Amino acid sequence: MKLSEVKNSETVVITKVLGHGSFRKRISEMGFVKGKEVKVIKSAPFNGPFEFKIINYNISLRKSEADLIEVIPVQDFIKSENENYQGVIDRAIDLVNHSERTKIINIALVGNPNSGKTTLFNFISGSKERVGNYSGVTVDIKKATFTTKGYTFNFFDLPGTYSLTAYSKEEIFVREFIYEQTPDIVINVLDATNLERNLFLTTQLIDMDVRIVAALNMYDELEKKKLYFDKDELAKLLGIPFVPTISSKGIGLENLIEKVIEVFEGKDKISRHIHINYGKDLEDSIRIVREKIKENQPITDKISLRFLSIKLLEKDGQVSSLLSHYPNFEEIKKSTQKEIHKIETLENEESETIITNAKYSFITGALKETFRNPHHSEKTRSEKIDNVLTHPVLGFPIFTAILFLVFFVTFKVGAYPMDWIDMGVLAFGNFISGLMAEGMLKDLIVNGIISGAGSVLVFLPNILILFLFISLLEGTGYMARAAFIMDKIMHRFGLHGRSFIPMIMGFGCNVPAILATRSMRNKGDRILTMLIIPFMSCSARLPVYILIISAFFDKYQPLYLIGIYAVGIVFAFITAQILNKTLFKNKETPFVMELPTYRLPTLRNVLYHMWDKTQHYLRKIGTIILIGVVIVWALEYFPRETKNTGVLKREIQLTEQNTAINSVEKGNYILQLNTQLESDRLTNSYLGRFGKLIEPVMRPLGFDWKMSIALVAGLPAKEIVISTMGVLYQTNEDENSVNLQQKLKNEKFETGKRQGQLVFTSPTALAFLIFILIYFPCIGVVVAIKNESESWKWAIFAVFYTTSLAWIAAFLVYNIGNLIV
């Protein structure tokens, strides 16, 4: 029977995992191996993915994936569980391999996601010295350096992984980090309440022959559960010293450091090199492959031969290419193939599965002696919470409410500090303006840099609040539940459940939304989500909508507004569908997602996380966004003179000297002349010329050159569209909106076929709205896409895709609209 057919709250035993390579690999590493019991908990709202409980943790799979797992009822399963458990083999190896006794200890933190690595790292580094982003790598990694007890410690917080196969970027990264940087000690952070799965990674570290100290984290929860656990016995068996830690409280970390020093100095009694005994057949094969590799010397002193052999037998492509330059690579390959064939026929399974099974048999065997959970079948606290939060009926409304709260606080409460910053930037600009003499430098600093940086800085409160919530949602474990709830709907469009939150965030500001895609593990899913976020209409576009809608649509104004947002969402989903069928056709995304235990995140973690993400945003202001803003400023600022400048200036001068008219009239006239001067200059500026240049392209949409310029000016940020229109359509600054509306209504074409006709008809207005919605996401977004996808390719793609789509959509709206009206 298939796992997907099992009823809720029934327990069954796994007999086989079907399906393609990477899925099977992933799922078996997560504990879905022959002989393990799985309990079906429930399915998500809207018949979404299933939740299962296996080896004492919860995981969600889609139905299509649960279809691939064959199970039988518990009573039908004949136990032969530990037939493979053979214990370990001691390896004779010189433990103190530090020829020169340096006092610098390089430490890598390795462990499952949510095992508490970052908490541990933050605690250790927080009270100590330097923490920095480890540059030059694509995956997020942090380094902290400090000196204590006469040693200098370099701590590296590596990304969380369940395993060290070449499944994800993180896994490859951790693996390469270990064999390229060769840390002196690997601290394996273990979630003590979930040892069975956590130890899987440990078995791979043992294969790599690295020196390990295990941090038995979450020890508080283990104690609370009153489980029987003989940690010293297990430590002895694995040859790894175990140090109980509660990293959220900083307990045990001192011991951990001391243990690291002991192991480093070779003084620890427990630390020893072992081989996990995988059983005679596998061991024979490993030995044969090992002998073949051994004929070459170069990399072997860095990477354990045993690890390489095991990986080759697991058909690991990365290790294969690592060895491909070996003179006897062909021989290695041949003998590996032979051995794979041998073990596969013997066990009638894929070799990767055989090795994973063997590892799990070992873990089960080792834990059998040392660990007992009498409360095994009781409901955990997390499950009780999930009875409500992911309830098939209640789950969705609760999720909506939480989302609403996040949204409300982020954008409503955030609006206050936003105003303050806005005013502050303005005041600062005025202040600087007062200090400086008129001229280009002043204009550059005040209107270019200060207002440009200000327009980015105003989003800072939003971003801080948003990331506060995201850290909370991630830290507590709710984020995975949100994905669980939304997956059914999102999957229809080829998206992942986790895409939902970033998309919603996009309504506020696309930039943090794109950063929020970091919670997604699969790169294809992430990039796809980033590419559709620009269709979520951000708050910067809202003022433009309001202006146009209130000017040209008397009735049903709110409906037009909602309609625009809806159009954006529809385009997002259509785009997702299209990209999924084309560019991301080969995106393989098994939905294997752990539903981690609910935990209260520490304040330190939340603040750290929040600040970390915000920093990314701030750093951008200093760089590319600012450059973009300055470029657009320059295009708008130059050239200064037109053929009318002289005439207008003279006119202003004459008016000022004229005593015949009263001062109010005079003031108004001068204002008018100044605006005319500005408008004339803007039209003649490079930006203006560019607007005129592209006017023929925009004409089929019913746009004139002024609208074209406004659109171009909106490239750095879409709010700028309005202020540019204000200048172009010559309105007084103070009565901006009312006046501008009126001016727009009266605006007539100056040239072309429609000369003398009104520019803005309702089809034009609609087409303009659609264009604003879809075209070029602001510079900030483009930069964010570039940074997060780590290539300009996707950023440029987004620019062209959105802009051409905007044109097509506006063209259709305009022409169809004209037919109707």
Smallest separation, CB 253 to ligand GDP (Å): 10
- Minimum CB separation of residue 224 from ligand GDP in Å reads 9
Whole-angstrom distance, CA of residue 753 vs CA of residue 750: 10
Q: Which residue is nearest to Mg ion (CB)?
A: 118
817 is in the binding site of which of ligand GDP, Mg ion, none (Cβ under 5 to 8 A by kind)? none
Nearer to ligand GDP, 110 or 629 (CB): 110
Q: Would you tell me how many other CB atoms lie within 10 Å of the CB of residue 240?
A: 25
Angle formed at CA 109 by CA 106 and CA 112, multiple of 5 degrees = 160
| Residue whose CB is less far from ligand GDP, 120 or 725 | 120
Distance, in Å, from the CA atom of 330 to the CA atom of 600, rounded to the nearest integer, reads 53
The window from 111-119, 526-534, 557-565, 764-772 that contacts Mg ion (CB under 5 A) reads 111-119
Residues 6+ apart with CB under 8 A from 659: none
Q: Alpha-carbon dihedral of residues 413, 417, 418, 419, nearest 10 degrees?
A: 110
Q: Distance of alpha carbon 492 from its chain centroid, rounded?
A: 21
> Of the two residues 356 and 605, which places its CB atom closer to ligand GDP in the complex?
605
Rg of the chain over all Cα atoms, to the nearest angstrom: 32
Half-sphere exposure for 786 (CA within 13 Å, toward CB): 14
Residue closer to ligand GDP (CB basis): 246 or 727? 246
Task: Kindly tell me which of 58 and 605 has the beta carbon lying closer to Mg ion.
Answer: 605
Q: Select 118 or 194, whichever has its Cβ closest to Mg ion.
A: 118
Under the criterion CB under 5 A, does residue 118 sit at the interface with Mg ion?
yes
Termini Cα distance of the chain: 61
Rounded to a whole number of angstroms, the minimum distance from the CB of residue 605 to ligand GDP is: 5
Residues sharing a CB contact under 8 Å with residue 80, sequence separation 6 or more, in sequence order: 35
Instruction: Report in angstroms how near the CB of residue 609 gets to ligand GDP at its nearest.
Output: 8
CB nearer to ligand GDP: pick between 114 and 708: 114
Residue 225: name the closest of 55, 39, 379, 38 by CA. Answer: 379
Tell me how far apart the alpha carbons of residues 312 and 99 are, in angstroms, rounded to a whole number.
31
CA distance 651 to 653: 5
- Residue 221 binding: pick among Mg ion, ligand GDP, none (C-beta 5-8 Å cut-off by kind): ligand GDP
Own/partner pairs, 15-22, CB within 8 angstroms, 24+ separation: 15/70, 15/71, 15/72, 15/77, 16/69, 16/70, 17/68, 17/69, 17/70, 17/353, 18/68, 18/69, 18/70, 19/65, 19/68, 20/588, 21/315, 21/350, 21/352, 22/167, 22/588, 22/590
**Under the rule (CB under 6 A), what is the footprint of ligand GDP?**
111, 113-119, 160, 217-218, 220-221, 246-248, 475, 599, 601-602, 605
Closer of 188 and 679 to ligand GDP (Cβ): 188
Q: Which of 783, 445, 487, 502 is nearest to 620 (CA)?
A: 783
Residue 26 interacting partner from Mg ion, ligand GDP, none (CB closer than 5 to 8 Å by kind):
none
Closer to ligand GDP by CB, 364 or 605: give it.
605
The answer to whether the CB of 460 falls within 8 A of the CB of 614 is yes
Cα 397 from chain centre: 25
Q: Which is nearer to ligand GDP, 58 or 605 (by Cβ)? A: 605
- Give residues with Cβ within 8 angstroms of 685, minimum separation 6: 635, 636, 637, 638, 639
User: Taking the complex as a whole, how short is the minimal distance between the CB of residue 480 and ligand GDP, in angstroms?
Assistant: 12
The reply on whether position 247 binds Mg ion by CB under 5 A is: no
* Helix, strand counts (H, E) of the chain: 36, 17
Q: Which is nearer to ligand GDP, 6 or 178 (CB)?
A: 178
C-alpha 632, offset from chain centre? 30
CB of 539 to Mg ion, least distance (A): 31
**How does 101-134 read in b/e, with b if 16+ C-beta sit within 10 Å?**
eeeebbbbbbbbbbbbbbbbbbbbbeeeeebeee
Q: What minimum distance in Å lies between the beta carbon of 118 and Mg ion?
A: 3
Tokens of residue 734, six digits: 């103070």
The site partner of 763 among Mg ion, ligand GDP, none (C-beta below 5 to 8 Å per kind) is none
Shortest approach of ligand GDP to residue 135 CB, angstroms?
Answer: 20
Residue 184 binds which entry of Mg ion, ligand GDP, none, CB below 5-8 Å type-dependent = none
Binding mask 340-379 for Mg ion (x = CB under 5 A): ----------------------------------------
Residue 119 binds: one of ligand GDP, Mg ion, none (C-beta under 5 to 8 A by kind): ligand GDP
Q: Which does 116 bind (CB under 5 to 8 A by kind): ligand GDP, Mg ion, none?
A: ligand GDP
Q: How far apart are CA 120 and CA 605, in angstroms?
A: 10
Residue 248 binds which of Mg ion, ligand GDP, none (CB < 5-8 A, kind-dependent): ligand GDP
Under the binding rule (CB under 5 A), the answer on residue 188 touching Mg ion is: no
Of the pair 162, 484, the CB lying nearest ligand GDP is at 162
Shortest Å, Cβ 257 to ligand GDP: 16
Q: What is the rounded CA–CA span in Å between residue 778 and residue 716? A: 5
Contact segment (CB under 5 A) with Mg ion among 114-122, 394-402, 430-438, 460-468 equals: 114-122
Binding partner of residue 209 among Mg ion, ligand GDP, none, CB cut-off 5 to 8 Å per kind: none
Residue 124 or 722: which CB sits closer to ligand GDP? Answer: 124
In the complex, minimum distance from the CB of residue 126 to ligand GDP, in angstroms, rounded to a whole number = 12
Q: With contact defined as beta carbons under 8 Å apart, do 205 and 115 qualify?
A: no
Q: Which does 716 bind (CB under 5 to 8 A by kind): Mg ion, ligand GDP, none?
A: none
Of the pair 221, 350, the CB lying nearest ligand GDP is at 221
Contact partner at residue 114 from ligand GDP, Mg ion, none, CB < 5 to 8 Å by partner kind: ligand GDP
Cα separation, 449 vs 442, in Å, equals 10
With beta carbons less than 8 A apart as the criterion, state whether 22 and 165 touch: no
CB of 604 to Mg ion, least distance (A): 13
What the block records as the tokens of 635 is 């295009």
For Mg ion, which stretch binds (CB under 5 A), given 31-39, 116-124, 409-417, 545-553?
A: 116-124
Residue 525 contact, options Mg ion, ligand GDP, none, Cβ 5-8 Å cut-off depending on partner type: none
- Give the shortest CB-241-to-ligand GDP separation in angstroms: 18
Residue 724 binds which of Mg ion, ligand GDP, none (CB < 5-8 A, kind-dependent):
none
User: Which phi and psi angles does 185 have, rounded to 5°?
Assistant: -135, 140
Residue with Cβ nearer ligand GDP (366 or 606)? 606
Structure tokens at 300: 């072997």
Judged by CB, which is closer to Mg ion: 110, or 721?
110
246 binds, among Mg ion, ligand GDP, none (CB under 5 to 8 A by kind): ligand GDP
Q: How far is CA 343 from CA 40, 207, 285, 336, 723, in A?
A: 33, 19, 8, 11, 72
Rounded CA-CA distance 511/147 in Å is 38
Tell me, by CB under 5 A, how many residues bind Mg ion: 1
244 or 763, CB closer to ligand GDP? 244
Q: How far is the CB of 600 from ligand GDP (least distance, A)?
A: 6
475 binds, among Mg ion, ligand GDP, none (CB under 5 to 8 A by kind): ligand GDP
Minimum distance, C-beta of residue 185 to ligand GDP, in the bound complex (Å): 18
Query: Which of ligand GDP, Mg ion, none does 780 bind, CB closer than 5 to 8 A by kind?
Result: none
Q: Compute the least distance from the CB of residue 161 to ligand GDP, in Å.
A: 10
Look at the block and give the residue holding tokens 């910053």: 421
Chain positions contacting Mg ion, by CB under 5 A:
118
